[in-house]
Chain A
């Protein structure tokens, strides 16, 4: 069967996923994705009635099982330091974000 995901498609996907991939790995990943697509395409052949709904969850949620919405109040997290300590680069309690790529507009 013809590949659903072409090399160009794959390059675009890797860009959207923010992944720099070594050449050999890219070709393996593309082959596996196309093999998975063979299975996924089967979904096109399932008889689905026009009135079939979609299920984003298996278990339906109603008043029976849903909690009340929480009060919308902000709370100071007690672990501020522990959270900040995880960042690779910190300055005065702020996380340093490297330059954001940009183009100069005329």
Chain B
């Protein structure tokens, strides 16, 4: 096995004990990227057509080789000098191209930032560097994180699923999930506004952790929905997610929404027993619920039985380990999660997108213009893709006084009701007294590229099992839970009360250990099986 396929915790151990150097691990990772990633995403480049394109991953927008070599060399030097290189010493990782890194291009998957070199670094990236991790590149995503398949990026070709390259990677942290699943870095940093870490983690068979809102600072992230955005890790195992969270969590003087709640020792929390924990299952998460476009009527369909069976199997394993499984837990406002998200996220997105003007930084139209307003209109019309345009237009429609029908206020009340649902089931004095809820992460496994993209409503409903978590602000962990009949990964999700990441990691780790000898755990994406 190559070092790029090892867990982050093993890589850090091998490097610290001088069995391998940080540079060697980096070279293995770069070789893997070269052999399977294919063309990196470029603005306005052609979509994948050739046989080689169609069988490559295309996770990256930019491989930052020089930056990575500098970081790896520094780690090797620290070790040689007998100094502490940090808990993630020499661990290669990628960052969704929504994190700013000083001196490196930050595109958000958009043409409007195609020439932007960030003059500063995000807190999370700074913390990864301090911990000794080595950033190998920036990975592709839905434009400004708007989507659930990573197909809306202006940087083509878009990422392809390592388990079946004709399928999407999920989104919006799709490049992150594809890179981690393919050994192109042991960790990737993603962001989750409506499910954007957990959803692609589920589609690509990786672990994805959305922390509690405010647990990890947002400073230096290109903003989408400021009351919803959460940075977090995607990894190949739960221990690596715990180690990464340990590094990136905690208060930040540059983000006044970053919580000052003490950060627990996640590895210690993770290793505790799960005996006696109360884990809930809710029928609301075993249904696909949407509103018919013609009639507006509520349509409810049972979720794919294979996905439901996988989740019930996870519950069975946890029960074997002594957890109490509580069924029929009510979360009656789950079906309003997507409609509420359509309102809140669009209003916040439209406010965040007004800063891109072709004057201060970023793309500027090459057409002639007579005044400032014409410059704005041409620049923004040319350089935003359809998703940011849709979100701005909807955000303005829902918030401008002249159109105001009270939807925004209503959505904020619906958000309070969604939060109340979770408060009730996690209330230690309530009827259910749950420690965590166990659900599927997504209503489907990875769908074929091109099959949903273009239908903005259907795409949004792909997030319906993750989005209520963001409204409530609570943490969620997606872990691999087997495969369907098409050999595509299925994701299971644990949700818990505010700041309960330690407990979610404990459940994920317990399941990982008890299933470590299952046949499906031995599967690897076809592209890397012989690489």
Contact = CB atoms under 8 A, between A and B. Distances in A.
A83 B277 CA distance: 51
Given A42-B296, A46-B410, A79-B120, A13 B397 contact: yes
A29 B390 CA distance: 6
A41 B413 CA distance: 14
Interface string B375-401: 111101110101001101110111010
Interface string A3-35: 001000110111011111110010011001101
B293 A54 contact: no
A16 B372 contact: no
Interface string A68-82: 011000000001001
A48 B119 contact: no
A59 B362 CA distance: 34
Interface in B436-463: 455-457, 460
Interface string B335-362: 0101110110000001000100111111
B414 A46 contact: yes
Contact of A33 (B380, B381, B394, B409): B394
B386 A28 contact: yes
B103 to A, nearest CB: 8
A55 B415 contact: yes
A40 interface: yes
B511 interface: no
A58 B474 contact: yes
B387 to A, nearest CB: 10
A22 B381 CA distance: 8
Interface stretch (B67-75, B136-144, B240-248, B254-262): B254-262
B68 to A, nearest CB: 21
A16 B400 contact: yes
A39 B361 contact: no
Contacts of B415: 54-55, 58
A52 B413 contact: yes
A59 B390 contact: no
B393 to A, nearest CB: 5
Contacts of B411: 43
Given A40-B342, A86-B117, A46 B336 contact: yes
A21 B381 contact: yes
B260 to A, nearest CB: 5
Interface in B487-502: 498
A87 interface: yes
A92 interface: no
B282 interface: no
Given A38-B291, A43-B414, A19 B260 contact: no
A98 B325 CA distance: 64
User: Which secondary structure dominates chain A's binding surface?
Assistant: loop
Contact of B373 (A44, A46, A101): A101
Interface residues of B, number: 90
A67 B470 contact: no
B290 interface: yes
B457 to A, nearest CB: 5
A67 B296 contact: no
Contacts of A18: 354, 357, 373, 376-377, 380
B156 interface: no
A58 B359 CA distance: 35
Contacts of A35: 293, 455-457
Interface in B203-244: 212-214, 227-228
A59 B498 contact: yes
A42 B327 CA distance: 28
Contacts of B259: 59, 65-66
A32 B392 CA distance: 13
Contacts of B382: 20
A99 B372 contact: yes
Contacts of B389: 17, 19, 21, 25, 29
Contacts of A59: 212-214, 259, 472-474, 498
A43 B336 contact: yes
A86 B293 CA distance: 44
Nearest to B335: A42
A105 interface: no
Nearest to A53: B416
Contacts of A89: 359, 364
Contacts of A1: 293-296
Residue among A5, A13, A39, A44 with max Cβ neighbours from chain B (10 Å): A39
Contacts of B102: 79, 82
B412 interface: yes
Contacts of B432: none
Interface in B246-289: 251, 253, 256-261
24 contacts: A1-B293, A9-B397, A19-B377, A20-B381, A20-B382, A22-B381, A29-B393, A32-B386, A35-B455, A35-B457, A36-B456, A38-B457, A41-B296, A48-B417, A55-B419, A55-B471, A59-B212, A59-B473, A65-B214, A67-B253, A82-B119, A86-B116, A86-B117, A98-B372
Return the 10 tightest CB-CB contacts between A and B, nearest first.
Answer: A58-B473, A86-B361, A54-B412, A59-B473, A20-B381, A82-B119, A55-B416, A18-B376, A65-B259, A20-B377
Interface of B: 102-103, 116-117, 119-120, 212-214, 227-228, 251, 253, 256-261, 290-296, 298, 333, 336, 338-340, 342-343, 350, 354, 357-362, 364, 369-378, 380-382, 384, 386, 389-390, 392-394, 396-398, 400, 402-403, 407, 409-417, 419, 455-457, 460, 470-474, 498
